[in-house]
A and B are shown apart, each in its own frame.
Chain A
């Protein structure tokens, strides 16, 4: 128990200094102790799993790269085994427990963290009436609100940002292998600044809706829905347009080419074919029923058709990360500002 008598007498208000940020910050951290323990526990458990898997995967991939000559059947087999074992097969992704499944599950971690920390911040004060205590102390409502909302935001962003280093390590063999592009939505959301930025956004949205609704659970539900809709819309409809895609000749199906936004076929006369027109092409049954995925492409090429793709090259990865991180940061700042504004104008 701290003892000792502090400080100024109430009469001397001539040079009134505000309560220092560090004091209010201590209050914020004390009140968020439970949330901090929760976040550490969740990320800690995930981190243990990721570290173990990253060691296993990096070792297995080292065996693949050490295999010479790379074109030998034995090495090809090894590479394919590595990919299907650790990334996950096409059909049994959920059972295989590969990195594909793990990164799909990781998709919900930012929103879980954000909702868990952000939603109760203000809503619990309003719900239980403790705001009548908090907002009538000498520190004042605005400083209290800024500390309560901004300090956890900074901590959460820093922790998830640091956590991304682990995710890079975990993903490294698959990215190096060329099986997986950094632009793959599963990977893009977990790498770079996206993981931290989406966590911050979920937090800010939960804090804002919590302030608006005055209830924790509705704020959690609304945040969850809005987050999932926006995350999917971003991956499918918004992210491809951060910059005009590059048009390249040929269909490159594997990794390494970048992120394929769309692909099409041009007739020998240079006219672009619609999907319906492609379906009407007189392709022989032997090609249509062929097991080889190249048979169709070879037939097209052999008959004067050309294949095109519009692509976001892998080299744009960081640019896209910063664009996405930037707008998420702006939206989060607006939401937190909105929450502070609501607190300032809210009555008892």
Chain B
């Protein structure tokens, strides 16, 4: 099953194309790193996949053919936008209640356990949490929804190194425990290299490289960062790995 599948997908903001002719299959069961420089179209691609934005051209389906943004897609995907936007004026416990009542599927025990393990007090206001705690709260809410696909847009951008490491550990654990697919975007591959099992390099609104990490390492005989850099420099779409740009 492909968790995200796009066909000739394009998005134009006013006169500038943020993403153009993007055809892409992201297979399920992976932790997918979506990497590219700032302005490459990562956020645009993800916001279309989670149904926040409608494509200008082409189409995108999720979770094995469900139209993006449809009720089934919304229920099956948990999305954490950049900077983990949550209601700052609410106490943590109420933030959970809000999320619980906006979803049919909700695992309160799991959310409570995670917060207790993280040491996030339920009565604390969301706005008073540290950046790392806020990101963890957003992840907790996303996981309590028991999604089939977890989408994280630049989850590490605002975190300090320790919080980054903790966060990525949480993501990997959750992916393994719940057997869910994860897509993370970042402009720094090094952050994701340790955990990613699938790599997509996006630049200038187009896919430059896509494939499972294992295949890429085998066929290129170089480090992941090296491979990504080579494709970002060359700027030409390559069909290495399994199913890039097909």
| C-alpha gap A347/B54 in the complex (Å) | 7
B93 within 8 A of A: yes
- Taking a contact as CB atoms under 8 Å apart, the answer to whether B101 and A1 are in contact is no
Q: Which residues of A contact B148 (CB under 8 A)?
A: 10-11
Query: Given the known A-B contacts A10-B147, A30-B90, A136-B79, are A5 and B71 also in contact in the complex, defined by CB atoms under 8 Å?
Result: no
Q: Which residues of A contact B93 (CB under 8 A)?
A: 1
- Taking a contact as CB atoms under 8 Å apart, the answer to whether A13 and B102 are in contact is no
B225 within 8 A of A: no
Q: Which residues of A contact B76 (CB under 8 A)?
A: 10, 13
Size band of the B side of the interface? Answer: 35 or more
Q: Which residues of B contact A4 (CB under 8 A)?
A: 108-109
Q: Which residue of B lies closest to A129 (CB)?
A: B85
How many residues of A are counted as interface, with CB atoms below 8 angstroms from the partner's CB atoms? 40
Q: Which residues of B contact A16 (CB under 8 A)?
A: 71-72, 75
- Taking a contact as CB atoms under 8 Å apart, the answer to whether B72 and A13 are in contact is yes
Task: Tell me if A's interface is mostly helix, strand, loop or mixed.
Answer: loop
Q: Which residues of B contact A229 (CB under 8 A)?
A: none
- Taking a contact as CB atoms under 8 Å apart, the answer to whether B108 and A6 are in contact is yes
| C-alpha gap A168/B74 in the complex (Å) | 49
Chain B CB within 10 Å, residue with most, of A10, A17, A34: A10
| C-alpha gap A26/B25 in the complex (Å) | 39
Q: Which residue of A lies closest to B11 (CB)?
A: A347
Interface bits A8-46 vs B (CB < 8 Å: 1, else 0): 111101001111000110110011001000000000000
Q: Which residues of B contact A8 (CB under 8 A)?
A: 104-105
- Taking a contact as CB atoms under 8 Å apart, the answer to whether B108 and A136 are in contact is no
Binds B, one of A96-104, A138-146, A283-291: A138-146
- Taking a contact as CB atoms under 8 Å apart, the answer to whether B112 and A1 are in contact is yes
Query: Given the known A-B contacts A13-B72, A30-B94, A130-B86, are A3 and B102 also in contact in the complex, defined by CB atoms under 8 Å?
Result: no
Query: Given the known A-B contacts A19-B103, A137-B99, are A1 and B81 also in contact in the complex, defined by CB atoms under 8 Å?
Result: no
A222 within 8 A of B: no
| C-alpha gap A124/B54 in the complex (Å) | 22
B17 within 8 A of A: no
Binds A, one of B31-39, B45-53, B168-176: B45-53
Q: Which residue of A lies closest to B66 (CB)?
A: A13
B89 within 8 A of A: yes
CB A136 to nearest CB in B, in angstroms, measures 4
- Taking a contact as CB atoms under 8 Å apart, the answer to whether B104 and A7 are in contact is yes
Q: Which residues of B contact A27 (CB under 8 A)?
A: 98, 101-102
| C-alpha gap A6/B87 in the complex (Å) | 23
- Taking a contact as CB atoms under 8 Å apart, the answer to whether B103 and A137 are in contact is yes
- Chain B positions 98-123 with a Cβ under 8 Å from a chain A Cβ: 98-110, 112, 122
Q: Which residues of B contact A271 (CB under 8 A)?
A: none
A279 within 8 A of B: no
B97 within 8 A of A: yes
B145 within 8 A of A: yes
A169 within 8 A of B: no
- Taking a contact as CB atoms under 8 Å apart, the answer to whether B85 and A6 are in contact is no
- Taking a contact as CB atoms under 8 Å apart, the answer to whether B51 and A136 are in contact is yes
CB A137 to nearest CB in B, in angstroms, measures 4
B77 within 8 A of A: yes
B57 within 8 A of A: no
| C-alpha gap A140/B102 in the complex (Å) | 8
- Taking a contact as CB atoms under 8 Å apart, the answer to whether B54 and A138 are in contact is no
Q: Which residues of A contact B125 (CB under 8 A)?
A: none
- Taking a contact as CB atoms under 8 Å apart, the answer to whether B146 and A133 are in contact is no
- Taking a contact as CB atoms under 8 Å apart, the answer to whether A5 and B52 are in contact is no
B88 within 8 A of A: yes
Which residue in A7, A34, A134 is a CB contact (below 8 Å) of B102? A134
- Taking a contact as CB atoms under 8 Å apart, the answer to whether A5 and B74 are in contact is no
Query: Given the known A-B contacts A5-B109, A7-B104, are A135 and B52 also in contact in the complex, defined by CB atoms under 8 Å?
Result: yes
17 A–B contacts from the bound complex (CB under 8 Å):
A1-B122, A2-B97, A3-B112, A6-B105, A10-B76, A13-B75, A24-B102, A30-B90, A30-B98, A132-B81, A134-B102, A136-B51, A136-B77, A137-B99, A139-B74, A347-B54, A348-B43
Q: Given contacts A2-B97, A30-B90, could you give 4 more A-B pairs where the C-beta distance is less than 8 Å? A: A6-B105, A23-B101, A135-B51, A136-B50
7 A-B pairs closest in CB distance: A348-B52, A137-B102, A347-B53, A132-B81, A23-B101, A138-B103, A129-B85
